[in-house]
Structure 1
């Protein structure tokens, strides 16, 4: 008689031990959602130029890159809980500075600090989740984590609509929510993960492994940086100054991207990833042009939904293509480097797209996106003529954990997760 497998643990048994982590995530991302909508709109009300608003995005993404480089050392010295509490305190205080100071240079520096803190905060949360998860519960853990991110980001944006952007209340609410994130972590009785390992970063080596994936992650970062930084400003203007219109527009795009991520990842397992990347980049350019035609109408929210569905998952597909050529022992290094390449692209894309908006109005944001997507398509097509697709025996199965927002998590656990997905 065949040996019976032990039943998988129930949902409650899986989630209860990490409830503190998930609660902290909910408060943190909800507070971030308020900022995503409120800060660009407040900056516009303060008569910051579009270029300056773009540079706010540059500050955030530059801080995120620096945080990915140095925050792991802080975790090594202070541990996960103390690092989390310290970074949350700084992130919460910095939000309030936007309500007090009106100097754009100070705002850019504040966004840099916010990016640095959020990189470390996310690093602590995700490395802790990876440390807890195993083959029997990884799907449940990560799907719950992503579902919470999706839900509370939308809630945070809706909260921002209840306050006048020119006043301080929305930023105060964001600070309160971010501060609350420290409470469940500080009081948790769950064991902290093992000390983190330092990872080498060799961008040239990564480019040599997969030029198409490397360049793809950078260009996709340019498009995404423009989207996250300037969409609230463009949508509010198109909606006649309505913060609610901007919030629903952003939320529709975020929901579309989140719902499409896993299906597109699975599809990429069954076909040449570069072909799928070409398809979704082409659709992103085309749907962006549809957004231009519908901006200001109720149909724009549906256009935003489909725009997010074909734009936001592109990074996961490009990263998975890089992993197909990456030796197992270098997966963690590749993950961390790709994250920073993507953030570097975001830091550049935000102010450049602002220049397009200055020249063409709100539609310039989507013409910029179309230009980036066309350049990426051209480069990938050229690379396909030079290099064949990876064979099925070395192709890595799609793993959502490998394409989550912070990739420089616990080295041993991330390697194990990807190794189990290798076919």
Structure 2
């Protein structure tokens, strides 16, 4: 674990500095627009456009990374983000700033995708949960610290814009100087919102509303603060307090959601947050800054918890192999809410006053609480023990999909070695020559030979049974690993490969059948038939073992997976 984090340290440093810059920009822009006399509705529109860019970046970032690589995409997008904030320092024009916010949102989405896919590929099944926790801490720590750069200069001159640009440029340095190669990235297709809504209506609606209230609250806090003369260091402390609340409240909310009905927890915290929202205007009018700060920390903390609670609620209803695709749909719902939130709230504030930001948040949360009650009446709650675990997540960390320990872990594909690439290339045109090349490599390095056998076995014209026979003569000490690798590469040849093994080494058949049945459940019946033919005295032992592990798998299975498994078995029987 320590070696993993040492390898990822440059990436975490780059992430922290990038979020420092974003923390500064998120406060600087609405404050500067207010000083320049922009209307609240204009400020809200400009801030909403950031999420338009985020959505575009989430859709296009994978293709960019495939084309240019992680480091180039990260460096190019962060540099473009620096250019956009520096352009904002030259001209105070809402149309220009809105365009630059789209650019910034796009660049951030691409940079985050590059970082998060890199983190995912560097993590194992055991470490990805801890990696996600560190990433979230770095994320929130950077946003928190960025607020305090506001005190280095007046927002009316260009100094703070230059500082933000410098921070963005500095963020590039640790990553581009890292010796760690970029990982292989695979595209993930998103589940449509319609399909996701049919499975988890509350998850989708809650995710959409969480995007609305999250973007509205954290983007427009500086506008509200300016109305009550919360400026300079007090403003940094105020926004920092909101971010601290977003971090600290995930611990008690996560604890409660894992021990009680999740929908009940969501309903209660929404009501609490709405009530707290109604107190903030009174505290502000009375000049009670401690009350304003404390209440804002509570409501913003609860708002930040709504997104991970939405994810957990949806995951309770999804099969594990649907989770990654479903997260794409949830991201889209949250981003749509992010586009709506700042502008809708700013229209209310412009019409009725800045103080109505919190009335807008309270009404939104009460409406969502009403929908929670409705869903509780039409759908029975899962038993507490069968609920998915709550996982802390930054609401804008859209693409940390594979880091989520609840999703099915798929080991990242490692790039082929030069020997594997050369042998595969030969195998596609001359399989016999590829077999001879594999033999030569295996004699020199048996372990590499086994790896190459697995690679060439996937080529179209390769005779796998013949390859098995030839390699058995070349590296007989590796016969078990050879057989295992070939069966994994060509499962449809499992019967023939096992019979060959039974002919040469009958004493290995039972153990190999058990290993293959554990790794590839779909081949268990095939393994029973092979053992019955080759070692009939052991077939009962193998059947009992498979029944045992199938029972254990069923008991450990998630409720949605178990239901689907039962339905499939029923329909096929």
Taking structure 1 as the reference length, what is the TM-score of the superposition? 0.91
Name which of 124, 130, 141 aligns with 1:140.
130
Report Cα offsets for 1:126-185 as digits up to 9, x if no partner. 121122222433343223222222222122100112211111111111111111111111
Name which of 250, 254, 265 aligns with 1:265.
254
State yes or no: 1:65 paired with 2:55: yes
1:281 is matched with which residue?
270
1:215 is matched with which residue?
205
Unaligned 5+ segments in structure 1 are 1-8
The question of whether the paired residues in 2 share the 8 Å contact of 1:130 and 1:413 is answered with no
In the alignment of these two chains, the number of paired residues is: 412
Name which of 180, 190, 202 aligns with 1:200.
190
Output the CA distance in 1 between the equivalents of 2:231 and 2:139. Answer: 25
**Cα 1:129–1:67, aligned 2, differ >3 Å: closer, same or farther?**
same
Deviation at residue 400 of structure 1 after TM alignment: 3.3
Three-state SS of the structure 2 residue aligned to 1:309 is: helix
* 1:15-414 equivalences in 2 (<5 Å): 15-238=5-228, 240=229, 242-295=231-284, 296-299=287-290, 300-392=292-384, 394-400=386-392, 405-407=397-399, 409-410=401-402
Three-state SS of the structure 2 residue aligned to 1:313 is: helix
Q: Which moved more, 1:281-290 or 1:396-405?
A: 396-405
The question of whether the paired residues in 1 share the 8 Å contact of 2:242 and 2:301 is answered with yes
The question of whether the paired residues in 2 share the 8 Å contact of 1:285 and 1:370 is answered with yes
The question of whether the paired residues in 1 share the 8 Å contact of 2:200 and 2:317 is answered with yes
Output the CA distance in 1 between the equivalents of 2:90 and 2:49. Answer: 19
| Greater Rg by CA | 2
Output the CA distance in 2 between the equivalents of 1:179 and 1:70. Answer: 23
The question of whether the paired residues in 2 share the 8 Å contact of 1:61 and 1:346 is answered with yes
Q: Which moved more, 1:21-30 or 1:186-195?
A: 186-195
The question of whether the paired residues in 2 share the 8 Å contact of 1:218 and 1:342 is answered with yes
**Cα 1:212–1:156, aligned 2, differ >3 Å: closer, same or farther?**
same
Deviation at residue 421 of structure 1 after TM alignment: 11
Q: Which moved more, 1:315-324 or 1:186-195?
A: 186-195
Query: Over aligned residues, Cα RMSD in angstroms?
Result: 2.3
More contact order relative to length (CA 8 Å, sep ≥ 6): 1
**Cα 1:46–1:384, aligned 2, differ >3 Å: closer, same or farther?**
same
Deviation at residue 403 of structure 1 after TM alignment: 6.7
Deviation at residue 393 of structure 1 after TM alignment: 6.5
